[in-house]
């Protein structure tokens, strides 16, 4: 089931873009590297082309993550740190941690980002999403002192060379989700934020409805299927 | 083929980190078995990512990057070859049992039914149930929310069939008598936010004093 944003169906649209790109491509040149697409978006102010690329910040973060995972690239890690450590710290403070505890935990979280970089799969999550899950688990650890049971890792994947186009459209979906959340009425958005800061009871959460998740869910579902197929 | 999935509110609760540990254990175990709910959960996590990304950052101390590198002690990112783990129980459940299905320390609770309480934080409890084929699931009145995830075998009630991976979500209003299907015993993970009841072993009156 795919929810659409108004009359525009992002899933159908990016599948169309995908097939257009595949038609244009000379065999052997796909997948287009994200870096190349990103560079193109930076060089050209051409709006039509910009539509095809993921948001520059998201795409940059993905290239940094892959550089850390593949090459233990410290420069890329420094860039990730500059972008995400202050956000993780703010997230933890909003969840009730003191600034000094939040600072220490943000360092822990970023250290985990480095260690587990190989588990990041850009066809299933944005870098912000992946770091959110690490920060959330750290919060449960520290503030609730509960164990956090995690789902079993998929025995396959992420692919050493993730499909660039799949990664790009997932990043685009994430952008659209962010935009949809930003467009919600203030009180509704504030409630969602409080939920993710760990500030709502489960009863209150049960009343949170209407999150626009259909498209991104379908995309992740396809990515999971693809990973399964690659394995067998 | 899994037919009974987690509810949206359970997935949101798990994604935001607000579920009691016992409920998180059941969610993590079902997601380990179900790609559909894994995709739904990861979509929920994307909302968390958007919330994180929209935070105005809080300035880190000047030495924080160096301190983080020091934490890493020069280690490269991990390169673990993942191997599929064979077994009846998914990894999160094995962590709580201390092994696979053969490591469970069952205790009889009457009528051939056995149970094993798993250690989780207070607020909710988790237990494994072993129900012989054709036997009624014991004492199935609900005072809170009870979730039952089938791990092997199956159970049935008047309206439905629950096989491996299926989750039954029962609240206080549900009055029913599930019965383990014929053919093989049913092993399931049951979690509840109500005090655990025992079938016959301990007088009901003592229940309020037992902090399980
Ligand atoms: Zn499911």
**Ordered per-residue pLDDT tens for chain A, 232 residues:** 333 333 334 444 444 444 433 433 333 333 334 444 343 333 333 433 334 345 688 899 999 999 999 999 999 999 999 999 999 999 999 999 999 999 999 999 999 999 999 999 999 999 999 999 999 999 998 888 889 999 998 877 687 788 889 999 999 999 999 999 999 999 999 999 999 999 898 888 888 877 889 899 999 999 999 988 877 6
Beta strand B161-162 with B155-156 is antiparallel
Residues B97, A221, B80, CA angle at the centre, nearest 5°?
A: 50
Name the DSSP letter for residue B136.
B
Domain assignment present for B165: yes
User: Are A130 and A120 contacting, i.e. CB atoms less than 8 angstroms apart?
Assistant: yes
Contact B45 A216 (CB under 8 A): no
Q: Phi, psi at residue A99, to the nearest 5°?
A: -55, -35
CB A183 within 8 A of CB A78: no
How far is the C-alpha of A175 from the C-alpha of A126, rounded, in Å?
A: 9
Domains of chain A: 51-231 (1.10.1740.10)
Quick check: is B192 in a domain?
Answer: yes
Q: Do B52 and A111 touch (CB under 8 A)?
A: no
The pTM of the full predicted model, rounded to 2 decimals, is: 0.84
Instruction: Please report the pLDDT score of residue A42 as a whole number.
Output: 38
**Dist CA A108 CA B163 (whole Å):** 41
CA of residue B33 to ligand 1 center, whole Å: 8
What are the angstrom distances between the C-alpha of A227 and each of A166, B58, B135? 12, 37, 40
Residue B128: inside a domain, yes or no?
A: yes
Does the bond joining A31 to the residue before it have cis omega, within 30 degrees of 0? yes
CA–CA separation, A86 vs A107, rounded Å? 10
Residue B60 resides in a domain: no
Using the structure block, give the residue that is written with the tokens 């029913």.
B176
- pLDDT score for B175: 67
Neighbours of A15 (CB within 10 A): 14
Ligand 1 (single-atom ion) residues, CB below 5 Å: B 5, 34, 36-37
Evaluate whether residue B75 is within a structural domain.
no
- B125-131 vs B186-192, strand pairing mode: antiparallel
Q: In a 3-state reduction of DSSP, which class is residue B76?
A: coil
Instruction: Determine, for residues B121 and A133 on separate chains, whether the beta-carbon distance falls below 8 Å.
Output: no
CA atoms of A6 and A114, how far apart (whole Å): 39
* B67: in domain: no
> Is the Cβ of B173 closer than 8 Å to some Cβ of chain A?
no
Q: Which of B102, B93, B89 is nearest to B27 (CA)?
A: B93
What is the reported pLDDT for A145?
80
- For B150-161, the pLDDT digits (tens) are 999 999 987 799
Q: Of chain A residues 133-152, which have a CB less than 8 A from chain B?
A: 133, 135-137, 139-140, 144-152
What ipTM score was computed for the predicted complex, to two decimals?
0.89
Q: Domains in chain B: how many in total?
A: 1
Query: Is B68 within a domain?
Result: no
Q: Give the distance, in angstroms, between the CA of residue B65 and the centroid of all CA atoms in the same chain.
A: 37
A158-169 b/e (C-beta count within 10 Å ≥ 16 → b): bbeebbbbbbbb
- For B132-175, strand residue ranges (E) read 146-152, 155-156, 161-162, 167-170
3-state secondary structure of B146: strand
What is the token pair recorded at B59?
A: 């300035």
Residue B71 lies in a domain: no
Q: In CATH, what number is assigned to the domain containing residue B135?
A: 2.60.120.10
Domain range for B26 is 1-53+87-212
């Amino acid at each position: 089931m795919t929810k659409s944003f108004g009359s525009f169906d992002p899933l159908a649209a990016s599948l169309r873009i995908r097939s257009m790109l595949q038609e244009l491509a000379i065999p052997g040149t796909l997948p287009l590297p994200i870096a190349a697409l990103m560079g193109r978006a930076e060089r050209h102010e051409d709006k039509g082309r910009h539509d095809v690329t993921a948001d520059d910040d998201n795409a940059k973060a993905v290239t940094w993550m892959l550089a850390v995972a593949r090459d233990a690239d410290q420069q890329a890690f420094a860039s990730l740190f500059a972008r995400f450590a202050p956000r993780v710290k703010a997230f933890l403070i909003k969840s009730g941690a003191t600034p000094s505890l939040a600072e220490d935990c943000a360092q822990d979280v970023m250290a985990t980002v480095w260690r587990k970089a190989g588990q990041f799969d850009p066809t299933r999550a944005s870098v912000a999403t992946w770091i959110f899950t690490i920060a959330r688990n750290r919060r449960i650890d520290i503030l609730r002192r509960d164990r956090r049971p995690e789902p079993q890792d998929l025995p396959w994947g992420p692919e050493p060379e993730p499909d660039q186009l799949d990664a790009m459209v997932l990043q685009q979906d994430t952008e659209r989700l962010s935009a949809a959340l930003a467009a919600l009425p203030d009180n509704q958005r504030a409630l969602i934020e409080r939920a993710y800061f760990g500030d709502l009871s489960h009863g209150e959460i049960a009343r949170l409805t209407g999150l626009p998740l259909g498209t991104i869910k379908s995309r992740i579902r396809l990515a999971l299927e693809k990973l399964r197929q690659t394995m067998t | 083929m899994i037919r009974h999935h987690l509810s949206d509110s359970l997935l949101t609760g798990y994604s935001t980190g607000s579920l009691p540990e016992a409920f998180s254990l059941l969610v993590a175990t079902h997601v380990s078995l179900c790609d559909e709910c894994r995709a739904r959960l990861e979509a929920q996590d994307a909302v968390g990512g958007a919330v994180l990304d929209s935070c105005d950052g809080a300035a880190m101390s000047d030495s924080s990057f160096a301190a983080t590198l020091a934490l890493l002690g020069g280690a490269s990112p991990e390169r673990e070859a993942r191997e599929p783990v064979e077994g009846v129980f998914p990894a999160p459940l094995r962590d709580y049992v201390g092994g696979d299905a053969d490591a469970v320390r069952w205790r009889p609770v009457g009528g051939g039914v056995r149970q094993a309480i798993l250690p989780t934080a207070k607020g909710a409890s988790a237990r494994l149930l072993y129900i012989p084929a054709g036997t009624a699931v014991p004492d199935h009145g609900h005072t809170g929310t009870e979730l039952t995830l089938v791990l092997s075998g199956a159970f049935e009630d008047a309206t439905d069939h629950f096989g491996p991976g299926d989750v039954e979500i029962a609240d206080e209003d549900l009055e029913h008598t599930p019965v383990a299907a014929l053919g093989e015993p049913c092993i399931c993970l049951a979690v509840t936010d109500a005090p655990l009841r025992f079938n016959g072993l301990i007088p009901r009156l003592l229940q309020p004093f037992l902090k399980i």
